[in-house]
Structure 1
Amino acid sequence: MKNKQQLVWGVILLGAIAILIGYSIWLFMFAKSAETVISNQGYYNSGMMGGRVNSNQSSSNEKLTPDQVLADVENYLKVYGNNLEVADIFVFTDADYYVSVEEKDTGRGAMELLVNPYTGQVYPEPGPNMMWNEKYSMMMGDSLRYNANATYTANVNRTEAVKIADDFVKSQFGETFSVPGDGHAFYGYYTFHIEENDKVIGMLSVNDRTGEVWSHDWHGELEQVISEH
């Protein structure tokens, strides 16, 4: 009986080793295949924040120009067809470029992107763009997929959202701050400019169903805002 048990356990052990070896070989081949696809397509994988590395990468420590960034973003948007265009570019001294994108046919905001100022890497902005966007939601798996048939009813209109945002910045930052209403209505939320003494210094978003406010506090000092149209 003891020898029989040893034989059974030996067979189980050999089977486990065979499965482990087979899995290791599959994992290696899968990784090599993924590496090849990524290399050929010009992508790199960074989980949910994965983005595309574009051709305008700087070979020095100089930042890419807004025109180069615009070209990189336009190239990135090709996967969505030809109905998207850049609306605004925010240039920061110590952070990635911020780019708002809108639909040509409706004028409605589609998505918000960040661009590495040295490599030209484009990737979806975190926060409302990923969590509240009901049409071009990056939470659906990757930036190549979107819900083209998204429908919903906003509970908070633009005027109400501006008031909510303005009250928020005054209560959080002081009476010299305001939200005049400049910005974009996206699918599921609004993003507005924050001003201090009539100068744009940042932005925040308001959920168009709940009225929740989400300040974009990850950008840094704003140098300029470039409106494309």
Structure 2
Amino acid sequence: MKNKHPLVWGVILFGAIAILIGYSIWMFMFTKSVGTVGYNQGYYSNGMMGGRVNSNQNSSNEKLTPDQILSDVENYLKGYGNNLQVADIFVFTDADYYVSVEEKDTGRGAMEILANPYTGQIYPEPGPNMMWNEKYSMMMGGSLRYNTNTTYTANVDRTEAVKIADDFVKSQFGATFSVQGEGHAFYGYYTFHIEEDDKVIGMLSVNDLTGEVWHHDWHGDLEQVISEH
């Protein structure tokens, strides 16, 4: 009987490795196949991580306008009640629209979402929005963490977070880059605009408990910022 144990464990190990390799290949092929050719759709496709296709989906391969995206996002937010509104829309070149959402009654950031400008698909932004958001978060695995009664006190205040972010971009990208503090305080972190020579070029987040910095490096080139509130 003792001689059978190595064989059993060997079969189990071989099966686990085969599953891991198969899953890795599937994920690689999946990420290559989604979206429009040459277009950065992000991390998830329809049906995954809360994404959904909206009424403005088109088949002409032309981009939806920011107004159309705004309309779909507003419809999407109705699923959370009537206390959320769009704060900013970032329009990128051949990448998803980025939308910051805030609470009407507090003015505090609620969540960050992405919208496919070709299909109207809406889904939670990866990174800090999923991993650090203490009130509105679609965690890995698909479970929604949403607590309307959440109260939250940050360890890192906004002034300190701005300095951490500014030091980060200067050390990583150069002296011409800066973080002036424009952005939103979410439940668990801040997201700030990155500027180069006084022009907004991207964004990063700072964890308000640890001071950890997470650069949003998945967006691409920024075309314009539309402020709704």
TM-score (norm 1): 0.78
Aligned to 1:215: 215
Aligned partners of 1:150 and 1:140: how far apart in 2? 20
Structure 1 stretches of 4+ with a deviation exceeding 4 A read 140-145
Moved more, 116-125 or 56-65: 56-65
List aligned pairs for 1:138-177, cutoff 5 A: 138-139=138-139, 142=142, 146-177=146-177
Contact 2:137 2:144 in 1 (8 A): no
Contact 2:205 2:216 in 1 (8 A): yes
Aligned partners of 1:58 and 1:91: how far apart in 2? 18
Aligned partners of 1:149 and 1:209: how far apart in 2? 20
Match of 2:47 among 37, 45, 51: 45
Question: Structure 1 residue 215: deviation in Å?
Answer: 0.1
Contact 2:110 2:187 in 1 (8 A): yes
Residue type of the alignment partner of 2:57: Q
List aligned pairs for 1:218-229, cutoff 5 A: 218-229=218-229
List aligned pairs for 1:197-216, cutoff 5 A: 197-216=197-216
Q: Unpaired runs of 5+ in structure 1?
A: 1-42
- C-alpha deviations, 1:178-222, integer Å up to 9, x for none? 001000000000000000000000000000000000000000000
- Name the SS of the counterpart of 2:161 in structure 1: helix
Aligned partners of 2:207 and 2:62: how far apart in 1? 37
Question: Structure 1 residue 143: deviation in Å?
Answer: 7.7
Aligned residues with identical type, % of pairs: 88
Contact 1:202 1:222 in 2 (8 A): yes
Considering only CA atoms, is the larger Rg found in Structure 1 or Structure 2?
1
Moved more, 134-143 or 57-66: 134-143
Aligned partners of 2:119 and 2:157: how far apart in 1? 38
Aligned partners of 2:143 and 2:90: how far apart in 1? 21
Question: Structure 1 residue 45: deviation in Å?
Answer: 2.2
Aligned partners of 1:156 and 1:145: how far apart in 2? 23
Question: Structure 1 residue 138: deviation in Å?
Answer: 1.1
Going by fraction, where is helix more abundant, 1 or 2? 1
Task: Kindly report the root-mean-square deviation, in angstroms, between the aligned alpha carbons of the 2 structures.
Answer: 1.6
- C-alpha deviations, 1:50-97, integer Å up to 9, x for none? 311100012211100000000110111111000000000000002100
